[in-house]
Structure 1
Amino acid sequence: MQRLYYLLLGGLLLSLSGCPMVDPFEPDPLPKYKPLLMARSQLEQAVAALPPQVLRNTGKIYLRDPYIYINEQYEGVHIIDNHDPTHPEAVAFLRIPGNVDVAMQGNLLYADSGPDLLTFDVSDARHVRLLHRVRDAVPELPMPQLGSIPQEYQSPNRPADAVVVGWQKL
């Protein structure tokens, strides 16, 4: 009986020796991303008020009664009529390529579009108007989790008129 015990224990130990050792202090590798690039001329022409879109990857939310403005990461801003909070109605989507941040003051909505800062008049939320664009007003969109743009994707290493409007996980 004791011999059977030692045989089973030995077999178990041998089978465990093939398992890779896991270092609990080794950090998980960061996911890899590639930049989504857009020609500057295309970026500037792409801003538009569109019909409502599906919410997928939302960010900041602003309430300017009775409307709600919800950032869609890298895409733009959803505009929702909240006159009846039990039945909010999506009324429009403001397409802003490269948009990750928004702020509001009074009737003005400020949004980044890649490296640019845009100002919109939202006094009529169903008919939003672009008032102004300041080129290269904000830093380029950094890679998620890294907080910067890797050397291989920086400006000198891509087409001259290309700007980063998002990041795609590989």
Structure 2
Amino acid sequence: MIDLTTFKTIMAAAPGPAAVVTAMGADGQPYGLTVSAVCSVSLEPSLALACIDRGSNTLAAIKETNAFTINYLGTGCEPVAMRFATKSDRKFEDQRWTLPAAGGGPILLDAAAAHVVCRVEQAVPAGDHIIFVGAVVEGSADDGSHALAYARRKFFTGEHLESGAAAR
């Protein structure tokens, strides 16, 4: 097996989306965490996945409600990503959010460039994480926003795609 430091270095080199996965707990409280391990799985049916650490407070809320929302953060939302990466119980303080009509977790109104609301179809144990595959039941994207990505401990956007400039 590869050593942990090498594995972390390799994974940090690969860009991933900066996203906040949210869920409502059975206690009526919102929960959320920053993740980069989210992606689409299937077009027909529309499926997305989120990998959630077993130590996350959000895990129980997803299991209780069988639903979650992936909020893909937009340009300038680095502070939101950093806040939701903590264990703080004040993550939603000063955040405008709403609950989607289809259920699921809070949509971060001022931070999400796009979001998908998912109903859990499968929960797959994988090491120290649970992979949740969700049927996408609702979602939207703001055409004027650029999604935030993360690699090598830095945030960036895909603004070069809009200008047609080649990535270097």
**Going by fraction, where is strand more abundant, 1 or 2?**
2
Q: How high is the TM-score relative to the length of structure 1?
A: 0.30
Q: How high is the TM-score relative to the length of structure 2?
A: 0.30
Greater relative contact order structure (CA < 8 Å, 6+ sep)? 2
Larger Rg: 1
